[in-house]
Amino acid sequence: LVSRKKKADDTVVTLKGESIGNGTPQFIFGPCAVESFEQVDAVAEQVKAKGLKLLRGGAYKPRTSPYDFQGLGLEGLQILKQAADKHDLAVISEIVNPAHIEEAAEYIDVIQIGARNMQNFELLKAAGASKKPVLLKRGLSATIDEFINAAEYIMAQGNDQIILCERGIRTYEKATRNTLDISAVPILKQETHLPVFVDVTHSTGRRDLLLPTAKAALAVGADGVMAEVHPDPAVALSDSAQQMNFEQFDHFWDAIQQYLGVH
């Protein structure tokens, strides 16, 4: 169902009047994790000020260590919704448990399925049954074929509102947190009719690489870019090394606008 051979036209996902996958790049910004209303509200204000509509934030955080911050859960989703409503934004947040999907649907506009859950087939089926747009991230060590099959699980339940997100894969290279597989973007665009995003934060794990990799993503035809922004990354409860502060966010955004020829 996700194959280009089945449908030649690009699938467009519409959110808050913004079209994802229609040729104009879109951007998703927000903190790694929801920490407080004040924190999300401050980021939402910056996003809104740039004329953007899409806000991310993790409430259920799949952390490598059980002793790391696990997220605020349902309270995090409520905070996100409160901030998003205040600034008229659409919310994207990761759900890790099929049992949480129905409840989460009240608070979020896009269900994110994280890299660690790309082959959690019951979660994929539940996201497919929900009919909410889904942002599906590539698994840590997933091949492109496995990634496409994961999207197929969602679409097989009748939900075609899927955004694929390349977020880096595990390789021997240690200079970056993961290795951004930039060629996955044109391959996914050729093989499927779905919009393709690139998450520059988790693929690189390096603040200094966010801008060049975002430009690379746009150059190879990505439908959009995701990056993390935090009011004070130094004290962030997760991903402290790669989130942008507001000044860096402004610089990143100006450079992207210039790259896209808006100014």
Interface with Mn ion in residues 19-38 (CB under 5 A)? 32
What is the per-residue binding string for Mn ion in 162-201, x denoting contact by CB under 5 A? ----------------------------------------
Q: How far is the C-alpha of 137 from the C-alpha of 116, rounded, in Å?
A: 9
**Interacting partner of 81 out of ligand PEP, Mn ion, none (Cβ under 5 to 8 A depending on kind):** none
CB 43 within 8 A of CB 239: no
**Interacting partner of 20 out of Mn ion, ligand PEP, none (Cβ under 5 to 8 A depending on kind):** none
DSSP state letters, 108-158: -SEEEE-GGGTT-HHHHHHHHHH-S-EEEEPPTT--HHHHHHHHHHHHTTT
CA 195, 201, 203, 207 dihedral sign is positive
Q: How far is the C-alpha of 30 from the C-alpha of 228, rounded, in Å?
A: 5
Least distance CB 37 / ligand PEP (angstroms)? 19
The H-or-E segment that residue 86 falls in is helix 74-87
Least distance CB 32 / Mn ion (angstroms)? 3
224: nearest Cα among 169, 166, 170: 166
**Nearest residue to Mn ion on Cβ basis:** 32
Q: What are phi and psi of 241, to 5 degrees?
A: -75, -20
What is the per-residue binding string for Mn ion in 31-70, x denoting contact by CB under 5 A? -x--------------------------------------
Q: How far is the C-alpha of 197 from the C-alpha of 163, rounded, in Å?
A: 7
**Interacting partner of 114 out of ligand PEP, Mn ion, none (Cβ under 5 to 8 A depending on kind):** ligand PEP
**Interacting partner of 48 out of Mn ion, ligand PEP, none (Cβ under 5 to 8 A depending on kind):** none
**Nearest residue to ligand PEP on Cβ basis:** 114
Q: How far is the C-alpha of 42 from the C-alpha of 30, rounded, in Å?
A: 10
Based on CB atoms, which residue is closest to ligand PEP, 62 or 158? 62
Residue 59's alpha-carbon distances to 56, 108, 187, 195, in angstroms, are: 10, 11, 31, 24
Q: Which of 210, 217, 239, 249 binds Mn ion (CB under 5 A)?
A: 239
- Determine the size of the site formed for Mn ion (CB under 5 A): 2
Give contact residues for ligand PEP (rule: CB under 6 A).
Answer: 32, 58, 94, 114-116, 137, 167, 199, 202
Based on CB atoms, which residue is closest to ligand PEP, 93 or 192? 93
**Interacting partner of 139 out of ligand PEP, Mn ion, none (Cβ under 5 to 8 A depending on kind):** none
Least distance CB 261 / ligand PEP (angstroms)? 28
Residue 56: strand pairing partners: 92
Least distance CB 51 / Mn ion (angstroms)? 24
Q: How far is the C-alpha of 36 from the C-alpha of 173, rounded, in Å?
A: 35
Catalog residues that contact Mn ion under the rule CB under 5 A: 32, 239
